[in-house]
Structure 1
C-alpha cells in the first residue's frame, strides 16, 4: 500500500515538471486553436458569423479643424436715377429798335421779350409754345406830326414754323399834354396761324392793355427786372404771357440823337398805400404837436394866475 502511494506521487511530479518545461507559445497556440474550433462550432450551429463588439466610446480628435467663416456677398442696391430736370430756356436777347420820322427820331425801344402762349388742339390737348422776340426783327412805325397824341412801333419777324406770314408786335404810346406825360397804352401781338398747328380757335391776335408804364415827356421809362404781362383775346380770356426784361423806351422824342433821355426807373415806383400811410403819419404828428401846445399854454396861464 505504501509503495502504491509513493509511485502515484512520483508520477504526478514527473507530469508537473513536463508541463512547466513545455513552450508557452504552444500553449497560446493551443488556446487559440481551441477558440477557433469553438467559434467554428458556433458558426455551424447558428449559420452566421458572430460580429465583433463595436466600441461606442468616442475617440478624441487630434486634428483641429479651422473655423468656418461664411462670407455673404450682397449685390449693391439698384439706384433709381432721378429724372433729368427740364432744359432751361435761354433768356431772350436784348436789342434796341428806333423809329425815325421825317426830321427827328421819335421812338426808341430797348428790351428782351419772350412769349408763352397756350392753345387747344383738335385732339382737345392743351399745348404751350414759347417764342422769343428775335433781335433781328424788322422795325416799322409812325411818328406823325408833333401835334399827334399817339405814336406806335411795330416789330416783325419770321420763324421756322411761320415762313410765309410774319409775326408782329406793336407798341402804342399815348401822350397826355395836361399832365405832360406819355404812357405805353397798348401792346398788341398778331401771330401767324402756322405757329399753332391743329389749333381749334382763331387765336391770332392778343393784346395787353397797360397804363402802368408812364413817364414824363422828354424822359425815358426804364425797368430792368422781369415783368409778366398777360395776353388776352377779344373775349377777354387769358391765353398766355409776355415776359419783358431790360426794358427802356422813350416816345415823342424830339431830336436826332438815338440816346435815351433821363430815365425814370420802375424801382422807384411806389404803391398808393405808401403816400396814404405817410399822410396819416403826418396828420397824427400835427395833432400831437397841437395838443402838446394847448396843454403847455394852459399850464403857463394857470401859473400866471397863481403868481398874481
Structure 2
C-alpha cells in the first residue's frame, strides 16, 4: 500500500514538474536534451491510449485517446540515472495523464523497450471520460513489462506497422486495454559526446520486412505485365505498317 502511494506521489510530482517546465506543440522528434545537437535519445512515433472505464450508471465505456495537438502537454527524457535506463515521459490531457516508455541496455550493448507505465487521472477537467462513475475520481496507475524494439547500441529501430501493447496491470473499473505505437523510429542510448546528425543504422521490425518482401513480387509482376503490353502494342503497330506497305506496292 505504501509503495503504491509513493509511486502515485512520484508520478504526480513528475507530471507537475514537466508541465511547469515545458509547454510545447507535439514534436516531430522526441529528442533529448532539447535544443542540443548532442543527443542521448531520439524518437518519433504515433501513439494511442485505449482505456475502459465504468460510467455512473454502471455501464462500461471505452476511450480512445490519440497523442495529438489537443491531448499533448509536454515531454522529457531521463538519460543519466541509472545509466542503463533511458525513460521518455510523455504528458497528456493537461498533465493529468503520463505515459512512460522505459528503455534498457544490457551487458551485450543491446537496447530495447522494457516497460510502459504511467497514470491516468479522472477529474472534472477531462473530456475523454464523460459521465464516469464518481468513485473513479482519482489517480489510476498502469504498467506492462515488454521486450520490444531490440537493436544494437548505436543503431536505431524502425517499425511503421502498428505495435499493440497489452497486459497492463490496472484496476477492474479503470483498465488500460492497450497502448498502440505506430510509425516508430527510436534510438535510445545515443552517443551524446558527439553531434547527432541522423538516426543510426536501422533495424526494421519483422512486420515491415514482410510487407517489403511481399511488395517485390508485386512490383516485378506489374513491370512484366507492362512489358508484355508494350511488346504487344509494338508488334501490332509494326504488323499494321507492314500490311500498309504491301497494299501501297
The answer to whether structure 1 residue 215 and structure 2 residue 148 are counterparts is no
Alpha-carbon distance in structure 1 between the residues aligned to 2:165 and 2:28: 19
The equivalent residue for 2:187 is 250
Within the candidate set 166, 169, 172, 1:233 is matched to 169
Alpha-carbon distance in structure 2 between the residues aligned to 1:258 and 1:110: 15
Q: Is the 8 A contact 2:161 2:208 kept in 1?
A: no
Superposed structure 1 runs of 4+ greater than 3 Å apart: 101-104, 199-203, 234-239
The equivalent residue for 1:126 is 60
Q: Is the 8 A contact 2:51 2:175 kept in 1?
A: no
Alpha-carbon distance in structure 1 between the residues aligned to 2:134 and 2:106: 40
Q: Is the 8 A contact 1:184 1:211 kept in 2?
A: yes
Structure showing greater relative contact order (alpha-carbon pairs closer than 8 Å, 6 or more residues apart): 2
The equivalent residue for 2:140 is 204
The equivalent residue for 1:259 is 198
**Helix, strand or coil at the partner of 1:128:** strand
**Helix, strand or coil at the partner of 2:87:** strand
1:231–1:99 Cα change, 3 Å:
farther
Q: CA RMSD in A?
A: 3.0
Quote the offset at 1:239 in angstroms: 3.6
Within the candidate set 117, 121, 130, 1:188 is matched to 117
Alpha-carbon distance in structure 2 between the residues aligned to 1:171 and 1:123: 34
1:113–1:268 Cα change, 3 Å:
closer
Q: Is the 8 A contact 1:186 1:209 kept in 2?
A: yes
Larger strand percent: 2
Quote the offset at 1:123 in angstroms: 2.1
Q: Is the 8 A contact 1:119 1:199 kept in 2?
A: no
Q: Is the 8 A contact 2:52 2:175 kept in 1?
A: no
Q: How many residues align?
A: 171
Unaligned runs of 5+ in 1: 1-92, 271-308
Alpha-carbon distance in structure 1 between the residues aligned to 2:176 and 2:90: 21
Alpha-carbon distance in structure 2 between the residues aligned to 1:258 and 1:139: 21
**Helix, strand or coil at the partner of 2:206:** helix
Q: Is the 8 A contact 2:58 2:133 kept in 1?
A: no
1:262–1:148 Cα change, 3 Å:
same
Unaligned runs of 5+ in 2: 1-25, 210-249
Within the candidate set 115, 140, 143, 2:49 is matched to 115
